[in-house]
């Protein structure tokens, strides 16, 4: 199997490194392209993969993974229309570019996979949804590839926004919350660096415990009745629901703006095709 990666930013380069590391493919079976020649060259030097332009990537690959921001996708699909043929599997990692638009823009079979930066440590969740033409073999292959670098979770495309807030944005949110924890400790005299180290160690231990027990179990084993943790938990239960409700509302609004921009690109393209056809008549 030959895998193509278009866009070698943060996610594209992570996927290249990890797919080779887990032995899903050899460096020789990967071809990557990027608008950014420097990023592409440093990944080529690091891993020994093949590099080329976007078309070459598609021509050489059975599976093409688009690691592009949503507003960069439509132009690339237009560029690749002739080479994205029906036997290729095209996977997009962008939450806000609909599967329907992917399949209506190419003849390829399509899927959406939204991985997480936690795949760096072969952990976390990749959200997965398949387009209508994908075969069982395609599905098995996707679940197996992403199953080696994460826990793949099949989901309805319409739920991706909320789910990706947890799985893909979550590591950033958790780090930001921990930073606030460290900041508050620093305000009470603990050196900032030391506070951050204490929190990171505690978080790593907490994550290990949570691999074996549930959230409620962990909460009750730290909070003895009438003790100090119980007092802290009251504050968390009072203050954080509003934070997370606001967070989901705010990211939903951003998703809506992005989707509208993606849709407007399609309308603009449709409009200019009509004008071209009219001029030809």
Ligand X SMILES: NC(=O)c1ccc[n+]([C@@H]2O[C@H](COP(=O)([O-])OP(=O)(O)OC[C@H]3O[C@@H](n4cnc5c(N)ncnc54)[C@H](OP(=O)(O)O)[C@@H]3O)[C@@H](O)[C@H]2O)c1
Given the rule CB under 6 A, which residues bind ligand X?
A: 6-12, 33-36, 39, 54, 67-70, 72, 75-76, 93-94, 114-117, 168
Contact present, 64 and 108 (Cβ < 8 Å): yes
CA dist., res. 140 & res. 128, Å (int): 12
The region, left, alpha or beta by phi > 0 then psi within -120 to 50, assigned to residue 34 is beta
| Residues 12 and 32 sit within 8 Å (Cβ to Cβ) | yes
Nearer of residues 35 and 179 to ligand X, judged by Cβ: 35
Cβ(230)–Cβ(222) below 8 Å: no
Hey, what are 261's tokens? Answer: 């921009």
Say how far apart CA 120 and CA 10 lie, in whole Å.
11
Q: Which CB atom, from 177 or from 184, has the smaller least distance to ligand X?
A: 177
Q: Which two tokens mark 117?
A: 């930066």
Minimum distance from residue 31 beta carbon to ligand X (Å): 12
20 vs 262, beta carbon nearer ligand X: 262
Q: State the minimum distance, in angstroms, from the CB of residue 203 to ligand X.
A: 19
Cβ of residue 150: shortest distance to ligand X, in angstroms? 11
Determine the residue with CB nearest ligand X. 9
Residue 61 Cβ, how far from ligand X at the closest point, in Å? 14
Using the minimum distance from each CB to ligand X, give the nearer residue, 11 or 59. Answer: 11
Nearest to 248 by CA among 160, 165, 169, 170: 165
Q: Alpha-carbon distance 137 to 246, whole Å?
A: 41
Nearer to ligand X, 8 or 105 (CB): 8
Shortest CB 126 distance to ligand X, Å: 8
């Amino acid at each position: 199997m030959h895998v193509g990666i278009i866009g070698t930013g943060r996610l594209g380069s992570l996927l290249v490194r990890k797919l080779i590391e887990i032995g899903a493919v050899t460096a020789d079976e990967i071809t990557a392209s990027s608008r950014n020649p420097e990023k592409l060259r440093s990944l080529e030097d690091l891993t020994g993969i093949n590099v080329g332009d976007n078309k070459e990537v598609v021509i050489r690959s059975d599976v093409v993974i688009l690691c592009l921001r949503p507003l960069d996708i439509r132009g690339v699909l237009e560029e690749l229309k002739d080479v994205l043929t029906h036997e290729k599997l095209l996977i997009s990692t962008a939450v806000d570019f609909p599967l329907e638009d992917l399949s209506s823009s190419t003849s390829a079979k399509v899927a959406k996979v939204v991985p997480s930066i936690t795949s760096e440590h072969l952990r976390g969740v990749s959200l997965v949804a398949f387009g209508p033409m994908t075969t069982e073999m395609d599905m098995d292959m996707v679940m197996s590839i992403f199953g080696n670098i994460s826990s793949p979770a099949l989901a309805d495309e319409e739920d991706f926004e909320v789910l990706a807030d947890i799985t893909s944005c979550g590591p950033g949110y958790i780090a930001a919350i921990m930073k606030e924890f460290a900041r508050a400790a620093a305000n009470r005299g603990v050196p900032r660096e030391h506070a951050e180290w204490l929190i990171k160690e505690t978080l790593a231990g907490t994550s290990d415990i949570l691999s074996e027990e549930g959230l409620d179990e962990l909460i009750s084993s730290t909070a003895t009745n009438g003790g100090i943790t119980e007092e802290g938990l009251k504050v968390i239960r009072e203050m954080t629901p509003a934070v997370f409700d606001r967070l989901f509302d705010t990211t939903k609004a951003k998703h809506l703006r992005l989707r509208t921009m993606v849709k407007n690109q399609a309308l603009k393209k449709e409009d200019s095709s009509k004008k071209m056809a009219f001029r030809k008549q």
